[in-house]
Amino acid sequence: MSQPVIIKSNKYGINLILDPVLPFEELLGCILDKFLGSEKFFQNAHVAISFAGRELSDEEEYRIIDTISQNTSIHIICVIDNDEIREQYTKQKVEQYLAAESENTGKFYKGTLRSGQVLECETSIIIIGDVNPGAKIISIGNIVILGALKGIAYAGASGNEGCFVVALDMNPVQIKIGSIIGRSEDKGILASIRERKRVAAEPQIATVSDGHILIEPITKNTFNNI
Amino acid sequence: MSEVIVITSGKGGVGKTTTTANVGTGLAQLNKKVVLIDTDIGLRNLDVVMGLENRIVYNLVDVIEGNCRIKQALIKDKKYPNLALLPSAQTRDKSAVSPEQMKKLTDELREEFDYILLDCPAGIEQGFQNAIAGADRAVVVTTPEVSAIRDADRIIGLLEANEIKKIQLIVNRLRMDMVKRGDMMTVEDVCEILSINLIGVVPDDEQIVISTNQGEPLVGSDAMAGRAFSNICKRIAGEDVPFLDLQKKSGVFARLAGLFK
Crossing angle (nearest 10°) for helices B16-29 and B224-236: 70
- Domain closes at, from A102, A132, A147: A102
pLDDT for B150 equals 95
Q: Do residues A129 and A180 share a domain? A: yes
Chain A nearest-CA residue for B154: A115
Q: What's the whole-number mean pLDDT along residues A90-114?
A: 80
Contacts of residue B154 in chain A, CB cutoff 8 Å?
A: 114-116, 134
Distance from CA of B98 to the nearest CA of A (A): 24
Which domains occur in chain B, in start order? 3-259 (3.40.50.300)
pLDDT for A82 equals 63
Distance CA A159, CA B219 (A): 58
Q: Do residues A112 and A211 share a domain? A: yes
Q: Do residues A92 and A110 share a domain? A: no
Residue A224 lies in a domain: no
Domain extent, residue A12, equals 5-102
Tens digit of each residue's pLDDT (9 = 90 or more) over A133-151 = 999 999 999 999 999 999 9
Tens digit of each residue's pLDDT (9 = 90 or more) over B31-83 = 999 999 999 999 999 999 999 999 999 999 999 999 999 999 999 999 999 99
Residue A55 lies in a domain: yes
Crossing angle (nearest 10°) for helices B146-161 and B126-133: 60
Q: Do B154 and A133 lie within an 8 Å CB cutoff? A: no
Q: What's the whole-number mean pLDDT along residues A65-85?
A: 79
Distance from CA of B174 to the nearest CA of A (A): 15
Q: Do residues A147 and A172 share a domain? A: yes
Of B151, B153, B160, which has the smallest distance from its Cβ to A132's Cβ? B153
Q: What is the ipTM of this complex?
A: 0.76
Structural domain count of chain A: 2
Q: Do residues A111 and A211 share a domain? A: yes
Q: Do residues A121 and A79 share a domain? A: no
Separation in Å, CA A172 to CA A67, A131, A179: 58, 9, 17
Distance CA B14, CA B100 (A): 28
Q: Do residues A37 and A49 share a domain? A: yes
Q: Do residues A64 and A126 share a domain? A: no
> Hey, how many other C-beta atoms are within 10 angstroms of the C-beta on A204?
19
Distance CA B211, CA B237 (A): 24
Q: Do residues A82 and A123 share a domain? A: no
Least confident of A9-23, A198-212, B113-127, B181-195: A9-23
Mutation pick from B125, B153, B162 vs chain A, by most beta carbons of A within 10 Å, is B153
Provide the 3-class DSSP secondary structure of residue B122.
coil
B65 or A8, which is more confident: B65
Q: Do B182 and A194 lie within an 8 Å CB cutoff? A: yes
Residue A72 lies in a domain: yes
- Contact with chain A for residue B195, Cβ under 8 A: yes
- Contact with chain A for residue B163, Cβ under 8 A: no
Of B153, B182, B183, which has the smallest distance from its Cβ to A114's Cβ? B153
pLDDT for A41 equals 77
Mean residue pLDDT of chain A comes to: 86
At A169, which CATH number?
2.160.20.70
Q: Do B153 and A134 lie within an 8 Å CB cutoff? A: yes
Tens digit of each residue's pLDDT (9 = 90 or more) over B149-200 = 999 999 999 999 999 999 999 999 999 999 999 999 999 999 999 999 999 9
A133 or B257, which is more confident: A133
- Contact with chain A for residue B151, Cβ under 8 A: yes
Percent of chain A with pLDDT over 70: 92
